[in-house]
Amino acid sequence: MSTLSDLVHAQGLLSDADVEWLHRLAGDGQLLADLSSADIVIWVQTADGSFIAIAHSRPSGAATLFYRDIVSERVRPQWRTQVQSAFDTGEIIDSSSPDWFEEIPTRVRAVPIERRGQQGVVLGVITRHTNLGEARMPSRQQISFDECANDLFRMIATGEFPDLAAPTSPRRGAPRASDGLIRIDVDGVTTFASPNALSAFNRMGFDDELEGESLAEVTTRLVPPSRQVDESLPVVVTGRAPWRTDIEARGVTVSLRAIPLKDHGTRIGAIVLCRDVTELRHQEQELITKDATIREIHHRVKNNLQTVASLLRIQARRTHSEDARDALTQAMRRVESIAVVHDTLASGLSQTVDFDEVFARVLKLVAEVAAAPNTRARTQHTGRFGVLPSEYATPLALALTEVVTNAVEHGLAGQEGVVTIEAHRTTENLRVIVRDTGHGLPEGRVGQGLGTQIVRTLIQGELGGTIEWKGVDGEGTEVTIDVPLRWIKA
């Protein structure tokens, strides 16, 4: 299915700012559908003068008319005149008689969509399709919800809704109309509170009726004086800005969202949506605690590994055996390469790492080898490894440390040369080619030392990949590592 942006851009009639406005309006499509107990569809004009649906929201508390999504469909003939009239006149157009849709009587309202600062320029039309087949005596809540919906539709027609000052990415557990709705007047006094809204405030310790009470005064009495509150709370509970905040009292957390209501620029009150998010906030806090614990564990492991590397370095300096010194030095570098990955993991909450950053630090470890007497080695890195999960990063970092170190220490021993590392990544595979300009493979055969065994075990055993050594024509050695990435979750 095409996205809203794709559908709008395909017509070539609206700007990027217009598309952003339509995105924000579509983001509140569910709110409009729930308040009006009707299907909500957004239409934009096509290049040939017709209209195409770019967004559709179904009501959560009423039967939908459209069991199949009508996004990307053209406007039906029975709605075309009404939609065109709203688009041309910039006025809200209601159907004069019931409209029949698949043998169901419906009432259609067409509302022009204007963008703030572009009065008189209609971007599209939003239609409300109300199912009259289930019509019954409306409750007070339904009447209040419908009044709120009508206020919002009038604001859409004058470019006052949605509000660009509202947050674009709500916190988890953002309140919906069915969770609880409070309507306040211009003075902040509650004129209507749905049963769910009243229940949420009752759980925080308010045991009276909200209607007739100042919402700001009620929240002030609920919050303990010793508790620090969000500075946006007074603005939200008075309905002066389209913000979101949380209020916490007696171990209960309620999320609040204010939607100021205006009539041609004059504030006439506000809608305050509320939802009990106590359990959600507890879960978020637990996740934060667990993430912090994991990060601390990574940090301690990294410190322990660096301590081990330091002990190995000290031991290497004190030993009198050249072979023992080389073995301890190699072990020290292997431990440090593992510490590099743990250090990167400890710096964030993700269990993935930017391996290009890790490898840049691994190359610094090789610089110690390159500083050996009579050896002048330069390293060049091309291509990108990309982001890898930790279970890939650790063995790959250790394997590349062995390969590059071997190229410098043995391939370029006692001479000047270059070690080139090329990374080629696709969605299915990561190929790394390490090439040096050194002596080449002794007798044309791969060595059987500990380093070679470690690399084979890491690449073939842990990563399920392949590794190949071959001599380069003329001079040097080329090592090709292929690692399949099909097991990485996208």
What tens digit of pLDDT does each residue of 361-390 get?
A: 888 776 665 555 666 778 888 999 998 888
Q: For 171-204, give one letter per residue: b (16+ CB within 10 A) or e.
A: eebebbbbbbbbbbeeebbbebbbebbbebbebb
Q: Does residue 488 carry a pLDDT above 70?
A: no
> CB–CB of 332/313 below 8 Å?
yes
Token readout for 486 is: 């099909």
Final residue belonging to a domain, choices 157, 185, 216? 157
The whole-number pLDDT of residue 253 equals 93
The residue-averaged pLDDT of 388-402 equals 86
User: Where is average pLDDT lowest: 46-50, 309-313, 340-344, 389-393?
Assistant: 340-344
Final residue belonging to a domain, choices 276, 295, 326? 276
The whole-number pLDDT of residue 173 equals 75
% of the chain exceeding 70 in pLDDT: 92
The whole-number pLDDT of residue 69 equals 87
The whole-number pLDDT of residue 371 equals 53
pLDDT confidence band for 57 (50 / 70 / 90):
very high
pLDDT confidence band for 162 (50 / 70 / 90):
very high
The residue-averaged pLDDT of 15-40 equals 94
Give yes or no: residues 231 and 376 share one domain. no
Distance, CA of 323 to CA of 315 (rounded, Å): 13
The closest alpha carbon to 256, from 148, 180, 168, belongs to 180
Count of domains forming the chain? 4
The whole-number pLDDT of residue 372 equals 58
User: Where is average pLDDT lowest: 14-23, 108-117, 303-312?
Assistant: 303-312
Q: Domain for residue 460, yes or no?
A: yes
Residue 38 has a CB neighbour count (10 Å cut-off) of 26
> CB–CB of 469/402 below 8 Å?
no
198/449: higher pLDDT: 198
Q: Give the mean pLDDT of the chain.
A: 87
Give yes or no: residues 386 and 410 share one domain. yes
Give yes or no: residues 29 and 153 share one domain. yes
Q: Domain for residue 130, yes or no?
A: yes
Degrees, nearest 5: CA angle 30-31-35: 115
Dihedral sign for Cα 480, 486, 487, 488, please. Answer: positive
Q: What is the CATH number of the domain that holds 360?
A: 3.30.565.10
pLDDT digits (tens, 9 = 90+) for 89-137: 999 999 988 888 878 889 999 999 999 878 789 999 999 999 888 767 8
Give yes or no: residues 342 and 356 share one domain. no
> CB–CB of 181/194 below 8 Å?
yes
Q: Domain for residue 229, yes or no?
A: yes
The three-state DSSP-derived secondary structure of 233-265 is: HHHHHCCCCCCEEEEEECCEEEEEEEEEEEECC
pLDDT digits (tens, 9 = 90+) for 211-239: 999 999 999 999 887 777 778 899 999 99
Residue 105 has a CB neighbour count (10 Å cut-off) of 14
Degrees, nearest 5: CA angle 12-14-20: 125
Q: Domain for residue 336, yes or no?
A: yes
The whole-number pLDDT of residue 347 equals 66
Distance, CA of 113 to CA of 90 (rounded, Å): 8
Give yes or no: residues 136 and 192 share one domain. no
CA distances from 66 to 58, 101, 112, 149, 458 (A): 8, 9, 21, 20, 56
Give yes or no: residues 487 and 358 share one domain. yes
The whole-number pLDDT of residue 102 equals 79
The residue-averaged pLDDT of 255-267 equals 94
The residue-averaged pLDDT of 339-344 equals 75
267/333: higher pLDDT: 267
The residue-averaged pLDDT of 399-406 equals 85
Give the residue ranges of DSSP H helices in 347-389.
Answer: 355-370
Please provide the DSSP assignment of 154-173 as one string: HHHHTT-SS-TTS-SSPPTT
Q: Which residue segment(s) compose the domain that 52 sits in?
A: 4-157
Dihedral sign for Cα 470, 338, 308, 454, please. Answer: negative
The letter for the amino acid at 441 is: L
Token readout for 82 is: 């009404």
The 8-class DSSP code of residue 126 comes to E
The whole-number pLDDT of residue 490 equals 46
- Cα atoms in the 13 Å half-sphere on the side-chain side of 421: 22
pLDDT digits (tens, 9 = 90+) for 443-460: 556 767 777 888 888 899
Distance, CA of 182 to CA of 202 (rounded, Å): 14
The whole-number pLDDT of residue 373 equals 62
Q: Domain for residue 272, yes or no?
A: yes
159/344: higher pLDDT: 159
Cβ contacts of residue 164 below 8 Å, gap of 6+? Answer: 24, 116
Query: Residue 295 burial (CB < 10 Å; 0-12/13-18/19+)?
Result: middle
Q: How far, in whole angstroms, is CA 175 from its chain's centroid?
A: 19
Q: What is the CATH number of the domain that holds 241?
A: 3.30.450.20
Give CA torsion, residues 135, 140, 142, 143, to 10 deg. 90
Q: Domain for residue 428, yes or no?
A: yes
Distance, CA of 108 to CA of 91 (rounded, Å): 14
72/374: higher pLDDT: 72
Per DSSP, the three-state class of 432 is strand
Give yes or no: residues 319 and 366 share one domain. no
Distance, CA of 125 to CA of 113 (rounded, Å): 5
Q: Does residue 410 carry a pLDDT above 80?
A: no
Give yes or no: residues 461 and 485 share one domain. yes
Query: Residue 390 burial (CB < 10 Å; 0-12/13-18/19+)?
Result: middle
Give yes or no: residues 216 and 311 share one domain. no
Q: Domain for residue 89, yes or no?
A: yes
**Mutual angle of helices 140-157 and 29-36, in 10-degree steps:** 140
103/52: higher pLDDT: 52
Final residue belonging to a domain, choices 289, 323, 350? 350
The closest alpha carbon to 115, from 124, 106, 105, belongs to 124
Give yes or no: residues 356 and 266 share one domain. no
> CB–CB of 332/401 below 8 Å?
no
Give yes or no: residues 73 and 129 share one domain. yes
Q: What is the CATH number of the domain that holds 25?
A: 3.30.450.280
Give yes or no: residues 255 and 141 share one domain. no
Q: Domain for residue 33, yes or no?
A: yes
Long-range contacts of range 61-65, CB-CB < 8 Å, 24 or more positions apart? 61/34, 61/37, 61/178, 62/37, 62/38, 62/131, 62/134, 63/131, 63/133, 63/134, 64/39, 64/131, 65/39, 65/101, 65/102, 65/104, 65/106, 65/129, 65/131
